[in-house]
């Protein structure tokens, strides 16, 4: 038996082990290579993710999707170094257009907000949810909110009108069952400024007052800002002076208006007391009350301007006529002047206007006649609401029957009640060449859509006739280096007065300031013209309140080239030592107008012209006693067709004749009836 050598088997085992090791080593190397490739793949993948995240979060961050947060979160505005977007920029996430003044100053705008609501059935712990919400909404009543969230409902409002920052903060809390509803909130950045004009919107963002209501559809459909005719600088100045006068004379209310007599654009309209437009729901009725268009007041002697214009235009009176200032009896009442003992028994027409005589104005009205007087006032728009873009415009109070007493009292501004804007409109028509313009709150220069300045009431058709202003309206220069426009704006509207009579009335209005009751309204270099008006206030139960007045002054400046009407009214002013116990317009409303004109003139690019003052005053001068043309018999002593005694006698005679005719007709009918009955019997 041959036994193999030992070293061969060991060698063989050694070689076998070595082969296994080689195979294991090769397998491990293969696995290492695979792991390296996998690692490289993961490194590449993570590198791509890192690059993508860097781009998305650092280099080019992505905006949040609309489904992630409510759509009212504003976009980052574009850089606008030249301010080209000022006044016309609208947030893309709001629907109601903003409102700006004629210079682009924002008066009203909508801000993005959100409404927070919850589905209580999706909440886990209402108490914890309320506690978390309290950390963002500090005014939230935590206990009450927790009780509401515990109800078995699917919808509960948590908070309204929260800011986008609060919305994001609540969203970051990650509370299931809390949702957001986009919305917008109206904001008035100037607070009290023009509050009654702005009005307000309701919770659904629909206008409920003021221009917000009048232009509600326009503001919701067209996102372009609505540009008003208001100049907020002038508005502020008028408000300050009016508030000072109201406090000085302890009046219960006041109003002021500035209007362009050529275009009807309302530059300022103030009513006091007023309120913060952002707090409309908390304002009192008196604060919301717009005295300029809703308030109805007896115009007093400011209406004598209309009486004079009516007499001149109808050809009934002339500048050289005279009228009795002797007190007139109407039943148990007497028409007299406050200072009639200082007047001559007969006053010329310039004196009637300058001294503001009530009996003389009544005589002029009687000369014209009640029928023509009513027709004149109707044509001047005093029988209908003023056509302005405010739904609060009130319908005037006018007599239903126009008898002898009505004709006389209306002649000096009693027996009718008109809003102040109607007085301003009528004043403008007497000085702008005789055109009745429609007052408007829209900026006409930048108007790209037809003005919606008609009212539901009967109004005149605008643009019936074009009127060329007289030469005095076209060429004057105000101040040094401030020429008036070469091509004057021609008023558009119905012609109610001839240019010659308009020029004459401008002189009479200037006379009232230089030598009449409106002396305190003078503002050097501005050639102010106007008419005072003081009327006793009517009490809540009817009847006049003694020593309680409505004091007003309606004015125009500059009178040599009429541009702006300025009106001031004080409701129930009290006497002061400076007024010597008087509460008439010449002591309170007129000086307020003077201060207003001095402040707003430069704002309106009209500067005082002191250099040519003597020449301009000479052009506007009119004698107190104009000469009577040869061969003309003027109205006056011995020629007084408006003598109420004569008219009353004629009226009685007419009534008696009518009564006799009626009785005769009745007797004739009785005879005919009797004859017919006898014939039937036969």
| Residues 417 and 457 sit within 8 Å (Cβ to Cβ) | no
Q: Calculate the alpha carbon distances from 130 to 185, 361, 565 in Å.
A: 25, 74, 59
- What values do phi and psi take at 161, rounded to 5? 55, 50
Q: Is 150 exposed, middle or buried (0-12, 13-18, 19+ CB in 10 A)?
A: middle
Dihedral sign for Cα atoms in the order 507, 510, 512, 516: negative
Beta-carbon contacts of 352 under 8 Å, excluding residues fewer than 6 positions away, are 304, 308, 323, 360, 361, 364
Residues carrying an active site annotation: 301
**Is residue 505 reached through a cis peptide bond, with omega within 30 degrees of 0 on the bond before it?**
no
Give dist(CA 141, CA 100) in Å, integer. 38
Q: CA neighbours within 13 Å on the CB side: how many for 639?
A: 9
Distance CA 504, CA 2 (A): 161
Strands 328-330 and 106-118: unpaired
Angle, alpha carbons 279-285-289 (nearest 5°): 95
For 160-223, the DSSP string reads EEE-HHHHHHHHHT--TTEEEEEEEEEE-TTTTTTHHHH-EE-TTS-EEEHHHHHTHHHHHH--
Distance CA 448, CA 450 (A): 7
Q: Are the beta carbons of 588 and 530 closer than 8 angstroms? A: no
Calculate the CA 122 to chain-centre distance. Answer: 49
Asked whether the beta carbons of 612 and 482 are under 8 A apart, the reply is no
Angle between helices 304-313 and 358-368 (to 10 degrees): 30
**DSSP letter for each residue of 605-640:** T-----TTHHHHHHHH---SSPPPPTT---SBTTB-
CA dist 40 and 46 (Å) reads 10
413: left (phi over 0), alpha (psi -120 to 50) or beta: left
Q: Which two tokens stand for residue 127?
A: 């108490």
The contacts of residue 522 (CB under 8 Å, 6+ apart) are 513, 514, 528, 594
Residue 467, Cα to own-chain centre: how many angstroms?
27
Total count of residues recorded for the chain: 682
Name the DSSP letter for residue 418.
Answer: B
Dihedral sign for Cα atoms in the order 452, 456, 457, 460: positive
């Amino acid at each position: 038996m041959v036994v193999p050598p030992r070293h061969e088997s060991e060698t063989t085992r050694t070689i076998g082990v070595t082969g296994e090791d080689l195979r294991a080593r090769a397998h491990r190397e293969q696995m290492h290579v695979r792991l390296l490739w996998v690692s490289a793949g993961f490194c590449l993948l993570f590198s791509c993710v890192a690059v993508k995240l860097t781009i998305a979060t650092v280099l080019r961050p992505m905006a949040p999707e609309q489904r992630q947060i409510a759509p009212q979160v504003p976009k980052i505005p574009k850089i606008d170094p030249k301010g080209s977007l000022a006044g016309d920029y609208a947030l893309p996430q709001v629907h109601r257009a903003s409102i700006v003044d004629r210079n682009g100053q924002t008066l009203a705008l909508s801000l993005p907000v959100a409404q927070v609501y919850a589905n209580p059935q999706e909440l886990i712990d209402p108490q914890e949810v309320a506690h978390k919400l309290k950390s963002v909404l500090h005014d939230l009543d935590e206990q009450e909110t927790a009780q509401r969230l515990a109800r078995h409902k699917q919808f509960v409002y948590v908070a309204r009108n929260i800011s986008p920052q609060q919305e994001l903060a609540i969203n970051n809390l990650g509370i299931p069952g809390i949702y957001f509803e986009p919305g917008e909130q109206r904001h008035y950045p100037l607070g009290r400024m023009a509050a009654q004009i702005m009005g307000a919107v309701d919770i659904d963002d629909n206008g409920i007052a003021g221009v917000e209501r009048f232009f509600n559809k326009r503001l919701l459909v067209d996102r372009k800002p609505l540009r008003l005719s208001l100049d907020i600088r002038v508005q502020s100045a008028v408000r300050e002076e009016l508030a000072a006068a109201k406090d000085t004379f302890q009046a219960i209310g006041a109003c002021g208006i500035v209007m362009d007599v050529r275009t009807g654009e309302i530059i300022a309209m103030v009513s006091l007391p007023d309120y913060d437009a952002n707090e409309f729901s908390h304002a009192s009725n008196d604060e919301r009350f717009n005295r300029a268009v809703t308030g109805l007041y007896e115009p007093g002697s400011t209406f004598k301007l209309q009486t004079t214009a009516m007499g001149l235009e109808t050809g009934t009176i002339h500048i050289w006529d005279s009228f009795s200032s002797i007190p007139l009896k109407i039943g148990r009442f007497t028409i007299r002047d406050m200072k009639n003992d200082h007047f001559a028994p007969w006053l010329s027409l310039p004196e009637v206007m300058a001294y503001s005589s009530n009996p003389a104005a009544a005589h002029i009205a009687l000369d014209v006649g009640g029928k023509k007087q009513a027709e004149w006032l109707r044509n001047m728009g005093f029988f209908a609401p003023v056509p302005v873009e405010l739904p609060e415009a009130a319908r005037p109070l006018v007599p239903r029957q126009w008898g002898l007493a009505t004709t006389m009292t209306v002649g000096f501004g009693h027996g009718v009640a008109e809003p102040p804007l109607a007085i301003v409109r009528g004043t403008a028509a007497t000085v702008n060449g005789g055109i009745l313009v429609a007052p408007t709150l829209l900026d006409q220069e930048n108007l790209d859509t037809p003005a919606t300045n008609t009212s539901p009431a009967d109004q005149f058709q605008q643009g019936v006739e074009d009127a060329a202003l007289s030469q005095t309206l076209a060429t004057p220069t105000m101040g040094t280096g401030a020429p008036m426009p070469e091509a004057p704006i021609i008023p558009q509207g119905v012609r109610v007065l001839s240019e010659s009579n308009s020029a004459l009335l401008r002189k009479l209005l200037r006379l009232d300031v230089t030598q009449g009751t409106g002396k305190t309204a003078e503002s050097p270099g501005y050639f102010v013209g106007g008419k005072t008006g003081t009327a006793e206030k009517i009490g809540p139960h009817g009847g006049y309140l003694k020593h309680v007045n409505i004091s007003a002054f309606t004015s125009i400046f500059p009178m040599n080239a009429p541009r702006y009407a300025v009106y001031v009214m004080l409701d129930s002013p009290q006497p002061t030592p400076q007024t010597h116990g008087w509460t008439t317009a010449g002591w309170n409303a007129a000086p307020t107008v003077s201060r207003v004109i001095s402040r707003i003139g430069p704002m309106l690019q009209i500067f005082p012209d002191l250099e040519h003052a003597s020449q301009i005053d000479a052009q506007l001068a009119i004698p107190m006693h104009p000469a009577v043309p040869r061969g003309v018999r003027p109205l006056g002593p011995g020629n007084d067709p408006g003598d109420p005694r004569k008219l009353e006698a004629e009226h009685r005679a007419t009534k008696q004749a009518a009564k006799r005719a009626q009785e005769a007709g009745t007797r004739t009918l009785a005879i005919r009836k009797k004859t017919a009955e006898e014939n039937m019997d036969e």
